[in-house]
């Protein structure tokens, strides 16, 4: 009986297993419910901040009703009854789609990232505090006229109206919750500061000057000379000053956010004499960083005073590139020498005084403590000499020579005023008059009008120097190296209705030796420009479709110049037979950077390996990173060597044959290791892939999954093809045609665009990354500016 009772009281072994299974099942169900619930909550929470795009919203700052229609590609078409409401609505709508991006942009340019991300950003903040972009924006604001100040104020009112409503409703972009802060009130200076940052990104050569200063003091003159595009032979005093007054460079700028070396663009305009329609065509594709969200925000603005469409940087009012009912325009970067470094001598008794013309002169000192999230602020001072801010420290904290920087963008400039007038211009005279206020960065503007005019102007402030040409840092204690003014506006390079029937620029040299003023010696490699001209010269009935196809052109004229000689040089060597299969593949290549071809993979990695082999052991890594245009220099070394005149660097390495063979051997081994022994399976696109990365995605795998849903995508082109696609050491394309634009002046009621990766900054928006495939394949979307043709979701903004 006891046994029976025990059996009745205790479950069987089989029963125990059943209970365990049931427990695990229930545990699994509970975990699944929690996960699903958590996912649904996160999905709900994230979705709360998605922009409202239809229905009605109250916006108290408005005077009258404004309509905002987002078309199928997410482009907002804003129609207002006054200029004030137009720019208020523009600020509101930009904030709906891009507020977090706008806030990060103003913080980075102002040197205030540490406040929200911690001390990891301290060195970046110190850098931008020294560069004084926000201070320059404040100086610029004082110079603006009432109209531009009103626009800045109206725009800020719109941004703040959105932020106030979003904070009240708990619908601020969730990125702010991730970082644990709320955005501050938007100001007029914030918009101008973002504009100054774009001038920094597009208008700098300071790092090149610092590198040259280092090289001049580090190497014998014959070796240093070969590292210059043009060595300043007629300036012995400048060269001697750089050798004797050494400023610390190695280790000084390790974390400096140096602009991308391939910042540039393509643009061209074709007259009606060479088009199928008999009216001009215009194309523009600025080459900037590729990320999520896009650096550009496309919009259409309509009021009784204007009807303009195109793109603008998030955080700024107006339209900087695009078209209206009568004209279209686009830009590329001129890249002039507008940043000079001065070697300043501090007073040993007073570090805030610097020698000038035999006297100690007080510098301006601004206390700018830097806030750091979770820590006490760090004291920081910005010291500004008569030439500009000090941007370097001295070795080991000891007093010694330091760099100050003079730069056109640190002066009061009026770019927004120019943009507002450009938006309303109806012909070349009005447009050129507007450009007179566009000071920095200097840009190559191309222009087309419905009256048939095509035109070009290299526009912006370009300094005239009393001595020197901006090739090296200059002595700060002498008055011999001051700027004496700027190239007169009427003498800037200008072309109107040329006999050729087209105008093209691609950051190439726009003047020759006959031009009376110095612009720069550091032009971009000419291959994109030559290819554009080559295609346009072959066609006297150009269409909009031809223009779009040319923007996607992958012909590699760089290889056309060098590859045959490179192959022949390696074949002559003792390893020529060892690399026969690879060299044959390169020789048979059609010189097109097709993503499915193996040859571009070998060629481009070979080209990138040349300066690595030659310079890596001779230069610290951070200094090498400041050496912009390394391939310009190695290109010239190859040209000289192929012509029988090996330079010092090549000779010391062991000759051009050894240099090219060692470089090719390194590449062949790396590619084989990565992609296998079978050359037939190698593809450029297996390495060369575009990836539009969100700024927060690198913080964790979860955020990477959340913000970057698309894997890297194979893409053709390269940094030297018209289809610009520059890449880093890992092959990821992170720089290129950030916006593509084609306008047909026979019908300006519409134009053709690609904004990669998409319009919106919110991950749940259908326009978040919907244009990535379009960017890769060259599928343009059509945007109309005739309000009667605008269709989509309509949001009514009411006072």
- Work out the pLDDT band at 27, boundaries 50, 70, 90: very low
pLDDT at residue 45 above 70? no
Average pLDDT for 510-535? 94
Q: Give, as one character, the DSSP assignment of residue 41.
A: H
Q: What per-residue confidence (pLDDT) applies to 37?
A: 46
Task: Please list, in sequence order, all residues whose beta carbon lies within 8 angstroms of the beta carbon of residue 249, skipping any fewer than 6 positions away.
Answer: 210, 211, 213, 214, 392, 623, 626
Q: How far apart are CA 453 and CA 429, in angstroms?
A: 10
Q: Residue 657 is inside which H or E element, if any?
A: helix 656-675
pLDDT at residue 636 above 50? yes
611-622 pLDDT tens trace: 999 999 999 999
Q: By percentage, how much of the chain surpasses pLDDT 90?
A: 84
pLDDT at residue 9 above 90? no
Q: How far apart are CA 749 and CA 228, in angstroms?
A: 48
Q: Are 301 and 316 a contacting pair, CB within 8 Å?
A: no
pLDDT at residue 68 above 50? yes
Across 258-292, b (16+ Cβ under 10 Å) vs e yields: bbbbbbbbbbbbbbbebbbeebbbbbbbbbbbbbb
Q: How far is CA 669 from CA 169, 198, 251, 684, 729, in A?
A: 58, 40, 32, 16, 16
Q: Both tokens of residue 101?
A: 């991006």
Q: What per-residue confidence (pLDDT) applies to 396?
A: 42
Cβ-in-10-Å burial (0-12, 13-18, 19+) of 642 comes to: middle
Q: Are 682 and 689 a contacting pair, CB within 8 Å?
A: no
Q: Are 329 and 321 a contacting pair, CB within 8 Å?
A: yes
Cβ-in-10-Å burial (0-12, 13-18, 19+) of 612 comes to: middle
Q: How far apart are CA 229 and CA 636, in angstroms?
A: 9
Average pLDDT for 642-657? 96
Cβ-in-10-Å burial (0-12, 13-18, 19+) of 207 comes to: buried
Q: What per-residue confidence (pLDDT) applies to 43?
A: 59
Q: Residue 725 is inside which H or E element, if any?
A: strand 725-727
Helix (H, G, I), strand (E, B) or coil at 466: coil
pLDDT at residue 309 above 90? yes
Task: Please identify which of the residues 110, 132, 265, 738 carries the catalytic annotation.
Answer: 265
pLDDT at residue 2 above 70? no
194-245 pLDDT tens trace: 999 999 988 778 999 999 999 999 999 999 999 998 877 777 888 888 888 8
Q: Both tokens of residue 716?
A: 């053709």
- Known binding-site residues for Ca(2+) equal 337, 340
Q: Cite the DSSP H helix spans in 449-593.
A: 527-537, 544-551, 557-572, 580-588
Domain ranges of the chain: 2-48, 557-591+598-682
CA 196 from chain centre, in angstroms, equals 13
Catalytic residue at 265? yes
Q: Are 139 and 411 a contacting pair, CB within 8 Å?
A: yes
Place of tokens 């191309």: 446
Average pLDDT for 677-694? 96
Q: Which of 202, 213, 518, 200 is nearest to 342 (CA)?
A: 213
Task: Please list, in sequence order, all residues whose beta carbon lies within 8 angstroms of the beta carbon of residue 165, skipping any fewer than 6 positions away.
Answer: 57, 59, 171
Q: Which of 52, 88, 75, 305 is nearest to 785 (CA)?
A: 75
Q: How far apart are CA 124 and CA 118, in angstroms?
A: 11
Average pLDDT, the chain: 92
Q: What per-residue confidence (pLDDT) applies to 30?
A: 45
CA 601 from chain centre, in angstroms, equals 24
Average pLDDT for 621-646? 93
Helix (H, G, I), strand (E, B) or coil at 752: strand
Phi first, then psi: give them for residue 227, nearest 5 degrees. Answer: -90, 0
Q: What per-residue confidence (pLDDT) applies to 646?
A: 95
The pTM of this model reads: 0.93
Q: How far apart are CA 313 and CA 319, in angstroms?
A: 9
Q: Residue 179 is inside which H or E element, if any?
A: helix 174-179
Q: How far is CA 77 from CA 68, 273, 301, 536, 796, in A?
A: 5, 33, 6, 33, 12
pLDDT at residue 39 above 90? no
- Work out the pLDDT band at 260, boundaries 50, 70, 90: confident
Q: How far apart are CA 291 and CA 4, in angstroms?
A: 74
CA 125 from chain centre, in angstroms, equals 19
Q: Which of 20, 378, 43, 413 is nearest to 203 (CA)?
A: 413
Between these two residues, 468 and 41, which has the higher pLDDT value? 468
Q: Are 67 and 164 a contacting pair, CB within 8 Å?
A: no
Q: How far apart are CA 244 and CA 224, in angstroms?
A: 15
Q: Are strands 327-333 and 339-344 parallel, antiparallel or unpaired?
A: unpaired
Task: Please list, in sequence order, all residues whose beta carbon lies within 8 angstroms of the beta carbon of residue 782, skipping any fewer than 6 positions away.
Answer: 750, 751, 752, 753
Average pLDDT for 590-599? 98
Q: Both tokens of residue 281?
A: 């065509």
Q: Both tokens of residue 767?
A: 């326009």
pLDDT at residue 384 above 70? yes
Q: Which of 632, 640, 659, 396 is nearest to 527 (CA)?
A: 632
Q: Give, as one character, the DSSP assignment of residue 386.
A: S
Q: What per-residue confidence (pLDDT) applies to 714?
A: 97
- Work out the pLDDT band at 764, boundaries 50, 70, 90: very high
Number of other residues whose CB lies within 10 A of the CB of residue 666: 15
Q: Are strands 296-303 and 76-79 parallel, antiparallel or unpaired?
A: parallel
Q: What per-residue confidence (pLDDT) applies to 377?
A: 95
- Work out the pLDDT band at 258, boundaries 50, 70, 90: confident
Q: Both tokens of residue 323?
A: 């078209």
Cis peptide before 490 (omega within 30 of 0): no
Q: How far apart are CA 753 and CA 381, in angstroms?
A: 45
Q: How far apart are CA 290 and CA 191, in angstroms?
A: 21
159-168 pLDDT tens trace: 999 999 999 9
- Work out the pLDDT band at 671, boundaries 50, 70, 90: very high
Q: Which of 163, 206, 479 is nearest to 338 (CA)?
A: 206
Q: How far apart are CA 574 and CA 557, in angstroms?
A: 29
Q: Which of 547, 571, 602, 582 is nearest to 778 (CA)?
A: 547
Task: Please list, in sequence order, all residues whose beta carbon lies within 8 angstroms of the beta carbon of residue 475, skipping any fewer than 6 positions away.
Answer: 237, 238, 241, 245, 342, 343, 481
Q: How far is CA 747 from CA 277, 752, 791, in A?
A: 10, 11, 19
Between these two residues, 145 and 46, which has the higher pLDDT value? 145
Cβ-in-10-Å burial (0-12, 13-18, 19+) of 459 comes to: buried
Rg (CA), the chain: 29
Q: How far apart are CA 228 and CA 234, in angstroms?
A: 14
Between these two residues, 26 and 705, which has the higher pLDDT value? 705
Task: Please list, in sequence order, all residues whose beta carbon lies within 8 angstroms of the beta carbon of residue 497, skipping any fewer than 6 positions away.
Answer: 271, 453, 454, 455
pLDDT at residue 143 above 60? yes
Q: Which of 210, 215, 214 is nearest to 258 (CA)?
A: 210
What is the DSSP track for 155-174?
HHHHHHHHHHHHHHHT-S-H
Q: What per-residue confidence (pLDDT) applies to 28?
A: 44
Q: How far apart are CA 611 and CA 226, in angstroms?
A: 13
Q: Cite the DSSP H helix spans in 479-627.
A: 527-537, 544-551, 557-572, 580-588, 599-615, 621-625
pLDDT at residue 4 above 50? no
Number of other residues whose CB lies within 10 A of the CB of residue 674: 12
Q: Which of 688, 713, 692 is nearest to 594 (CA)?
A: 688
Q: Residues, the chain, total? A: 799
Q: Are 446 and 432 a contacting pair, CB within 8 Å?
A: no
Q: How far is CA 9 from CA 2, 84, 277, 763, in A?
A: 10, 84, 96, 58
Average pLDDT for 298-313? 98
pLDDT at residue 680 above 70? yes
86-141 pLDDT tens trace: 999 999 999 999 999 999 999 999 999 999 999 999 999 999 999 999 999 999 99
């Amino acid at each position: 009986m006891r046994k029976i009772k025990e059996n009745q009281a205790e479950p069987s072994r089989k029963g125990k297993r059943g209970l365990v299974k049931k427990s695990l099942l229930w545990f699994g169900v509970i975990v699944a419910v929690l996960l699903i619930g958590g996912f649904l909550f996160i999905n709900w929470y994230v979705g709360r901040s998605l922009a409202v795009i239809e229905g009605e919203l109250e916006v108290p700052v408005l005077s009258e009703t404004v309509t905002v229609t987002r078309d199928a590609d997410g482009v907002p078409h804003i129609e207002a009854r006054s200029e004030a409401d137009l720019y208020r609505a523009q600020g509101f709508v930009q904030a709906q789609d891009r507020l977090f991006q706008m806030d990060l942009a103003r913080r980075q340019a102002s040197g205030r990232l540490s406040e929200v991300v911690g001390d990891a950003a301290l060195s970046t903040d110190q850098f931008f505090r020294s560069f004084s972009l926000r201070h320059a924006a404040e100086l610029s604001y004082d110079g603006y006229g009432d109209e531009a100040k009103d626009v800045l104020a109206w725009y800020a009112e719109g941004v703040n109206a959105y932020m106030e409503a979003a904070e009240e409703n708990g619908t601020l972009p969730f990125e702010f919750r991730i970082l644990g802060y709320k955005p501050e009130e938007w100001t007029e200076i914030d918009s101008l500061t973002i504009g100054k940052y774009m001038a920094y990104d597009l208008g700098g050569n300071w790092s090149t000057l610092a590198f040259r200063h280092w090289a001049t003091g580090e190497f014998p003159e014959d070796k240093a000379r070969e590292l210059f595009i043009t060595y300043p032979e007629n300036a012995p005093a400048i060269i001697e000053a750089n050798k004797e007054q050494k400023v610390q460079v190695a280790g000084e700028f390790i974390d400096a956010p140096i602009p991308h070396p391939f910042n540039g663009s393509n643009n061209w305009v074709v007259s009606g004499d060479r088009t199928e329609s008999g009216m001009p065509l215009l194309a523009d594709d600025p080459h900037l960083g590729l990320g999520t969200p896009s650096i550009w925000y496309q919009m259409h603005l309509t009021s009784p005073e204007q009807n303009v469409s195109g793109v603008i940087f998030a955080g700024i009012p107006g339209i900087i590139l695009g078209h209206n009912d009568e004209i279209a325009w686009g830009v590329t970067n001129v890249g002039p020498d507008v940043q000079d470094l001065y070697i300043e001598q501090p007073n040993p008794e007073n570090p805030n005084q610097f020698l000038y013309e035999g006297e100690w002169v007080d510098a301006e000192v601004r206390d700018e403590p830097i806030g750091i999230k979770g820590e006490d602020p760090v004291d920081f001072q910005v010291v500004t000499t008569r030439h500009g801010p000090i941007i370097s420290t001295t070795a080991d904290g000891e007093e010694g020579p330091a760099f100050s920087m003079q730069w056109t963008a640190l002066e009061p400039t009026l770019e927004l005023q120019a943009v507002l007038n450009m938006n309303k211009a109806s012909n070349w005279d009005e447009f050129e008059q507007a450009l007179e206020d566009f000071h920095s960065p200097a840009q190559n503007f191309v222009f087309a009008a419905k009256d048939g005019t095509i035109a070009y102007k290299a526009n912006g402030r370009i300094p005239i120097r009393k001595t020197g040409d901006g090739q090296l840092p200059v002595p700060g204690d002498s008055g011999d190296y001051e700027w004496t003014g700027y190239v007169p506006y009427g003498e800037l390079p200008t072309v109107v209705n040329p006999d050729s029937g087209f105008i093209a620029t691609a950051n190439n040299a726009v003047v020759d030796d006959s031009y009376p003023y110095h612009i720069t010696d550091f032009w971009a490699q000419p291959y994109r420009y030559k290819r554009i001209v080559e295609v346009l010269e072959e066609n006297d009935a150009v269409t909009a479709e031809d223009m779009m196809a040319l923007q996607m052109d992958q012909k590699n004229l760089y290889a056309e110049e060098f590859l045959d000689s490179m192959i022949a040089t390696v074949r002559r060597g003792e390893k020529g037979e060892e690399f026969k299969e690879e060299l044959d593949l390169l020789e048979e290549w059609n010189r097109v950077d097709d993503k499915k071809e193996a040859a571009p993979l070998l060629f481009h990695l070979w080209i990138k390996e040349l300066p690595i082999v030659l310079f890596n052991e001779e230069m610290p890594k951070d200094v090498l990173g400041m050496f912009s245009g390394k391939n310009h220099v190695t290109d010239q070394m190859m040209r000289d060597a192929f012509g029988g005149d090996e330079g010092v660097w090549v000779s010391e390495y062991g000759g051009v044959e050894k240099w090219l063979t060692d470089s090719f051997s390194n590449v062949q081994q790396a590619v084989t290791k990565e992609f296998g022994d079978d050359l037939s399976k190698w593809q450029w696109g297996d390495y060369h892939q575009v990836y539009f990365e969100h700024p927060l995605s690198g913080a964790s795998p979860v955020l990477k999954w959340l913000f970057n849903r698309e894997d890297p995508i194979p893409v053709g082109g390269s940094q030297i093809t018209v289809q610009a696609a520059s890449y880093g050491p890992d092959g990821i394309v992170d720089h290129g045609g950030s916006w593509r634009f084609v306008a047909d002046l026979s019908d300006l009621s519409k134009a053709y665009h690609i904004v990669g990766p998409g319009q919106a900054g919110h991950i749940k928006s259908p326009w978040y990354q919907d244009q990535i495939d379009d960017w890769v394949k060259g599928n343009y979307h059509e945007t109309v500016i005739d309000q009667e043709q605008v269709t989509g979701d309509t949001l009514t903004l009411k006072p």
